[in-house]
């Protein structure tokens, strides 16, 4: 008994009175009627927890906690690399997850989700912009396009391997540092580092060994890519006909690289310092290439105002809203009206940009110019909207005419004369004749300059400028043998706010890498573009015109409408 009494105090050596009381209560609870264990077993458990075995378990749990914390920190800091995949820059990242999967993000279009492997790791591949250096090499040596396509899988494999090595190394290093700070001892720090290497390396190795190539056959689409199966067909069919698909991919990559490399070749014009320079764009249709060209024109031409006559998006969906964030990077006022592909979500996303001005049956003054505009009354992202002319139904024509009449009433009620009026569909421009010297529109994807019929009782001539597609008809414009040109115009206004000249800019097209600029001088700004053909617009109760005369296309670049509005 005396020996037992001597052992009990020894177990409590170094403990405070409060800690000893806690242990006694725990032992009493274990032995009591409501305890987890009754009888002597409770005492044996309490002694074991206070003995060497309990201390070893506590130490092991502490090492495990520090190791997991170090791995989380290491993955957050080191689980990310940038690599080249073909001519594109891509960001690869890894993060913990409940089950293994891969996300291929293609901003701003959406993402593909693949059940690609097993294990608690999530791989994200985010495709970025084209690498300028590699792009120039592709243009100088077209044979490299084929080689880049063939080596894209090897590029991706090398990038994933580098990501795995980097993630493991940083995780182990973070664990060692954290363990050294917590334990202040070599042995436990070494155990934590070895455990981090085992867990991280083992997890990534397990993911690599359980890769399921068949997951590529059944991806889950997110964002705008939910429409991809309807556009590109069944993934299995593409895989079965890989050679044909590879040729199409080479064609698209070649067209994109040509557009990028020609941006730097835009010519520069130095107008009078007092001139107001306006860049007219339209129908971007979600093509990210267009933003780079717009930024180049804004900088090189010292643009004061950008005017966008609609269809900045393709489906007007929530994922597309991020596309308009590039507006803020332009650094100049951006006046916008809604197109038939732009939803209220799109309009609000544009309105949230600090330099954007959204017009919808309203008037603003910017850069010394008074501008009135109204959004398209339709929302038809299914691309079934008629392009105008004889295809317009009576109801659609009346809807567009009413749209133009509403803007005409707004202009009449405005206290100051309106210099420029904006509509998306040129079929809505008729009621604006005689109220403003210039109407800007888009929608048709075909550059045209014409004059509206003279309004009764008005001596003011009204010119109508319809812009081509500044996004090359969207990403679909890159799929053909010849890339659809990206079109935009720079308008020069004198101190009296009259149009004195305009430059039509076309980038790419006809399968060649070139920029075409055609300057037009307005000989008498007070009269407007006197050589523009008079073009009738739809009227109520009358059949719509069957055709619209187009102004001559720039030399070497035939004008051609695209099948989408």
**pLDDT score of 299:** 85
Q: Which of 302, 307, 359 has the alpha carbon at shortest distance from 333?
A: 307
- At residue 286 the predicted structure's pLDDT band, cuts being 50, 70 and 90, is confident
Q: Is the pLDDT of residue 558 over 60?
A: no
Identify the three-state secondary structure at position 144: helix
Q: Is the pLDDT of residue 17 over 70?
A: no
- At residue 234 the predicted structure's pLDDT band, cuts being 50, 70 and 90, is very low
**pLDDT score of 197:** 92
- At residue 389 the predicted structure's pLDDT band, cuts being 50, 70 and 90, is very low
d(CA 80, CA 100): 17
d(CA 26, CA 105): 55
Q: Is the pLDDT of residue 173 over 90?
A: yes
Q: Of residues 553 and 288, which shows the higher confidence score?
A: 288
Average pLDDT of the chain is 75
From 132-136, 156-160, 296-300, the region with the lowest mean pLDDT: 132-136
Q: Of residues 441 and 211, which shows the higher confidence score?
A: 441
Q: Of residues 502 and 11, which shows the higher confidence score?
A: 502
Q: Which of 336, 565, 542 has the alpha carbon at shortest distance from 453?
A: 542
Q: Using alpha carbons only, how large is the chain's radius of gyration in Å? A: 34
Task: Collect all residues with Cβ–Cβ distance below 8 Å to 192 and sequence separation of at least 6.
Answer: 63, 66, 67, 70, 175, 176, 178, 179, 183
**pLDDT score of 174:** 92
**pLDDT score of 508:** 66
From 313-327, 413-427, 533-547, the region with the lowest mean pLDDT: 533-547
Q: Of residues 125 and 476, which shows the higher confidence score?
A: 125
d(CA 423, CA 404): 8
Q: Of residues 518 and 541, which shows the higher confidence score?
A: 518
Q: Which of 75, 71, 80, 120 has the alpha carbon at shortest distance from 100?
A: 120
- At residue 165 the predicted structure's pLDDT band, cuts being 50, 70 and 90, is very high
Percent of the chain residues topping a pLDDT of 70: 64
Judged on CB neighbours under 10 Å (0-12, 13-18, 19+), 338 is: buried
| Range 182-192 average pLDDT | 88
From 109-113, 224-228, 294-298, the region with the lowest mean pLDDT: 224-228
**pLDDT score of 2:** 44
Residue 70 has phi, psi (to 5 degrees) of -65, -40
Cβ–Cβ < 8 Å for 68, 171 = no
Q: Any long-range contacts for 473-478 (C-beta under 8 Å, 24+ apart)?
A: 473/283, 473/285, 473/445, 473/562, 473/564, 474/284, 474/285, 474/286, 474/287, 474/314, 474/564, 475/109, 475/285, 475/286, 475/287, 476/231, 476/285, 476/564, 477/287, 477/562, 478/252, 478/255, 478/256
**pLDDT score of 1:** 44
Cβ–Cβ < 8 Å for 442, 311 = yes
DSSP E strand stretches across 190-342: 220-223, 276-281, 305-308, 334-336
Q: Is the pLDDT of residue 495 over 50?
A: yes
| Range 348-377 average pLDDT | 96
| Range 413-421 average pLDDT | 96
Peptide bond into 511 cis (omega under 30): no
Percent of the chain residues topping a pLDDT of 90: 31
In the beta sheet, which residues pair with residue 123?
A: 94, 102
pTM for the predicted model, two decimal places: 0.56
From 247-251, 320-324, 554-558, the region with the lowest mean pLDDT: 554-558
Q: Out of 12-16, 55-59, 153-157, 422-426, give the one with best mean pLDDT.
A: 422-426
**pLDDT score of 550:** 38
**Cα 57–60–66 angle (5° rounding)?**
140
Instruction: Estimate the share of the chain in helix, then strand, then coil, as percent rounded to the nearest 5.
Output: 45, 20, 40
Q: State pLDDT tens for residues 126-139.
A: 876 555 565 555 54
Q: Is the pLDDT of residue 119 over 80?
A: yes
Q: Is the pLDDT of residue 332 over 60?
A: yes
| Range 491-515 average pLDDT | 77
Q: Is the pLDDT of residue 482 over 80?
A: no
Sheet bearing 499-507, strands edge to edge: 356-358, 334-336, 305-308, 276-281, 486-493, 499-507, 515-521
From 31-35, 58-62, 356-360, 400-404, the region with the lowest mean pLDDT: 31-35
Q: Out of 6-10, 95-99, 413-417, 458-462, give the one with best mean pLDDT.
A: 413-417
């Amino acid at each position: 008994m005396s020996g037992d009494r001597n052992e009990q105090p020894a177990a409590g050596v170094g403990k405070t009175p409060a800690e000893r009381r806690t242990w006694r209560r725990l032992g009493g609870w274990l032995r009591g009627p409501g305890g987890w264990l009754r009888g002597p077993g409770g005492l044996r458990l309490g002694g074991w927890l206070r003995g060497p075995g309990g201390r070893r378990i506590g130490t092991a749990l502490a090492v495990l906690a520090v190791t997991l914390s170090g791995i989380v920190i290491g993955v957050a800091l080191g689980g990310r690399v940038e690599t080249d995949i073909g001519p594109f820059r891509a960001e690869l990242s890894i993060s913990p997850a409940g089950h293994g999967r891969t996300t291929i993000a293609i901003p701003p279009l959406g993402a593909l989700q693949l059940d690609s492997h097993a294990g608690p790791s999530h791989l994200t591949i985010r495709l970025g912009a084209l690498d300028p250096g590699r792009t120039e090499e592709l243009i100088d040596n077209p044979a490299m396009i084929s080689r880049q396509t063939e080596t894209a899988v090897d590029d991706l494999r090398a990038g994933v391997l580098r990501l795995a090595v980097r993630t493991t190394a940083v995780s182990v290093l973070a664990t060692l540092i954290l363990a050294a700070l917590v334990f202040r001892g070599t042995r436990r720090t070494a155990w934590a580092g070895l455990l981090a290497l085992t867990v991280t390396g083992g997890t990534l190795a397990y993911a690599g060994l359980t890769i399921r190539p068949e997951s590529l056959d059944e991806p889950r689409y997110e964002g705008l890519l939910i429409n991809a199966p309807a556009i590109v067909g069944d993934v299995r069919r593409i895989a079965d006909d890989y050679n044909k698909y590879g040729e199409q991919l080479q064609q698209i990559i070649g067209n994109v690289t040509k557009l990028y490399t020609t941006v730097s070749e835009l010519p520069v014009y130095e107008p009078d310092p007092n001139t107001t320079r306006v860049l007219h764009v339209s129908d971007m249709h979600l093509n990210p290439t267009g933003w780079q060209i717009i930024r180049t024109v804004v900088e090189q031409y010292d643009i004061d105002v950008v005017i966008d006559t609609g269809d900045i998006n393709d489906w007007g969906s929530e994922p597309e809203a991020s596309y308009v964030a590039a507006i803020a990077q332009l650094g100049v006022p951006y006046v916008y009206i809604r197109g038939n592909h732009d939803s209220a979500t799109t309009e609000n996303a544009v309105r949230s940009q600090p330099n954007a001005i959204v017009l919808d049956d309203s008037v603003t003054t910017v850069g010394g110019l008074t501008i009135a505009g109204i959004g398209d009354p339709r929302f038809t992202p299914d691309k079934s909207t008629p392009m105008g002319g004889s295809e317009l139904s009576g109801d659609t024509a009346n809807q567009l005419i009413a749209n133009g009449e509403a803007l005409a009433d707004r202009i009449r009620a405005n206290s100051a004369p309106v210099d420029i009026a904006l509509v998306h569909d040129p079929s809505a421009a008729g009621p604006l004749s005689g109220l403003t010297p210039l109407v800007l529109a888009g929608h048709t994807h075909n550059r045209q300059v014409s004059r509206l019929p003279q309004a009764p009782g008005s001596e003011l001539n009204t010119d109508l400028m319809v812009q081509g597609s500044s996004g090359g008809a969207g990403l679909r414009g890159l799929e053909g043998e010849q890339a659809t040109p990206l079109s935009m115009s720079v308008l020069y206004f004198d101190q009296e706010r009259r149009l004195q000249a305009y430059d039509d800019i076309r980038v790419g097209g006809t399968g060649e890498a070139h920029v075409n600029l055609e300057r037009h001088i307005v000989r008498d700004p007070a009269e407007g573009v006197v050589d523009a053909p008079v073009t009738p617009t739809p009227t109520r109760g009358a059949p719509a015109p069957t055709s619209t005369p187009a102004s001559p296309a720039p030399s070497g670049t035939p004008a051609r409408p695209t099948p989408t509005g």
